[in-house]
Every structure is written in C-alpha cells, then in structure tokens.
Amino acid sequence: MEERKTYIVANWKMNFTMDESSIFLHKLAQKITPAKNLEIILAPSIFTLQSLSLQVDYKQFRLAAQNFYHKDFGAYTGEVAVAQLKGIAEYGLVGHSERRHIFGETIEDTGHKVAAAIRSKVVPILCIGETMSERADGEESDVIYDQLIGGLSGITSHHIKDVIIAYEPVWAISTGGGGTVSAICSPDDLASTIKIIRSHIKHLYGAKVSQNIRVLFGGSVNVENIMSYLQVDGVDGALVGGASLNVESFSNIIKKTKEIRQAKR
Ligand code: 13P
C-alpha cells in the first residue's frame, strides 16, 4: 500500500479581511517548518486568495478555494470559475455542508464541480456528511453513498486518485467551540463511518482505490482532540474551521500532527 500524505486544511470560511489574512499568514509562517508528506492547506475567502498566493511560500503551505463555479467561463455574474483558480489554488472544497444547507447546493452541483476541478487540474476536496436527523433515522450510510455517487459521477477510475474526500458530519461542525449543541463526533463514531466511506469507495472503484483514497475528517477539530482523530485507522488529516482562526491553536494542531506522524512510523 502507498504511504498516504497527511493533510491539515484551514477553512477560514467568511472570516478575515485582506490585511488580517496577510498578517495571519506571516505569523503562521514563522511557526511552521515543512515536513515530508504533510501538506498544510489554507482555504481563505476567495477575494484574498490571489494576494495570499503572492505571499505564500509553497514549501510551507498550499492554497484552496472554499467554493467555485463549474463552468469554465461565461455570463455567470458573481461567480468564480475553477479554471480561473489555475496557478493560484491547487485545491478546491466542494459541497461543504454550509454550501449544501445554506446555499442549496445539490448533489448534482457537487458532481459538476468535482468534474470541473479535475478538468482544470485543481484537486477537489469533496465534503460529505449526514445531518443529525439522518443519523438518528439510521440513514447515515445511504446519505453518504448518495453524496459519493453523485459527487463522483463524472470521475473515472483513472482520475479518482486525484480526489480527496472529507467527512464532516453536519451535527459535529462548530459544536466544540461553545456552540449551542455540544455534539462531538467521537473517535469510535469516526472509525465506523470511515469504514463505511471506504467500503462505498470499494464498491464504486475497487479495493485498491479504497485503500489509497485520501479521507479527511472535519467537525470541531482542535488541539485537544486532533491526535485522537488522526489515530483512527483510515483518516489522513483534518479540515479545521474555528480552531484555524487562531495562529497559536492552528500551529499547535500542526505540531501535534507532526508528533503523531512520527509516532506512527
Ligand atoms: P469547525 O472546525 O469550526 O467545526 O468547522 C469544521 C468545518 O466546517 C471545516 O470545513
């Protein structure tokens, strides 16, 4: 089996002005030394991407878009094409739960976006995950299957290796930082869902792909719990929201990630 890289992604969501992003990057860069097979990816808001791309040291960090449109160009006021991200962002989030649940992004939309990203040689990070009520109704596996089959509908077995999956249970997003509901995905919960995801991928693309595909976790990841999640078999990294907005906490998450990678060797 190939050694899979570890990925830590900072999803800044709709936070930070241009100046704040630049200062954050400057401070973070002083705390981080590159490590083999560990990729640190920053996903700032779309309008700061270009300026950060001029500032960033690509030996330390990579950049991701939080969202994009699937058409390559044309009369789509207000949208940014994934084709326009070429040379700026190497990665693009697709189907984040906030896109699905606040902005009504459909499974078909995610399929178009994943295919467009591959076309433009941007690595899609396809976010999937069930809601609390879907989980309560025992539909978790079916929901995830639908999101995978729809999101990957245009992806052949040749290109599947270029896709990253991020499991973000909707019920565990932004709940650990003092939110109103304190639902946390336990490492055991995560382990069983990762098995489900990899078995769906096996069904769709075969055993080898299922072993090699990169699967990340997101949902209230912080410096206290990162190790317990990265220890789960089949987890290749984390998508961090709230805890990525503070230089200290995000750099400590990276530090812990390096420790656990060393320990696993
Ligand atoms: P939190 O880490 O704030 O729960 O956000 C997770 C997330 O949505 C990352 O994409």
CATH number of the domain encompassing residue 80: 3.20.20.70
Q: Work out which ligand 1 atom sits closest to the CA atom of 166.
A: 10
55: CB partners within 8 A, 6+ apart: 22, 25, 26
* 113 neighbors 68 (Cβ within 8 angstroms): yes
Kindly give the distance from the C-alpha atom of residue 96 to the centroid of ligand 1, in angstroms, as a whole number. 9
pLDDT by residue for the chain (265 residues), tens only, comes to 567 899 999 999 999 999 999 999 999 999 999 898 999 999 999 999 999 999 999 999 999 999 999 999 999 999 999 999 989 999 999 999 999 999 999 999 999 999 999 999 999 999 999 999 999 999 999 999 999 999 999 999 999 999 999 999 999 998 764 444 568 999 999 999 999 999 999 999 999 999 999 999 999 999 999 999 999 999 999 999 999 999 999 999 999 999 988 877 6
Question: Could you tell me if 113 and 95 are in contact, meaning their C-beta atoms sit under 8 angstroms apart?
Answer: yes
pLDDT of residue 178: 44
- The CB of 168 under 6 Å from ligand 1? The reply is yes
CA of 186 to the centre of ligand 1 (A): 15
Choosing from 39, 96, 130, 200, which is the catalytic residue? Answer: 96
Residue 69 lies in a domain: yes
Among residues 95, 91, 98, which one has the least CA distance to residue 117?
A: 91
Number of Cβ atoms within 10 Å of the Cβ of 84:
18
Q: Give the separation between CA 136 and CA 19, rounded to whole angstroms.
A: 43
Q: Would residue 168 show up in a list of annotated catalytic residues for this protein?
A: yes
Distance from the first to the final alpha carbon of the chain: 14
**Residue 131 within any structural domain of the chain:** yes
| pLDDT given at position 118 | 97
In a domain, 137, yes or no: yes
- Ligand 1 within 6 A of 220 CB? yes
Report d(CA 199, CA 77) in Å as an integer: 40
Task: Note down the domain range covering 171.
Answer: 6-264
CA of 11 to the centre of ligand 1 (A): 7
Q: Is 92 in the pocket of ligand 1 (CB under 6 A)?
A: no
Q: Dmax over Cα atoms in the chain, in whole Å?
A: 52
How many C-beta atoms surround the C-beta of residue 126 within 10 A?
Answer: 25
Task: Please report whether residue 1 resides in a domain.
Answer: no
**How far apart are alpha carbons 220 and 9 in whole angstroms?**
13
pLDDT of 4: 82
Q: Which amino acid is it at 140?
A: E
Q: How many structural domains is the chain composed of?
A: 1
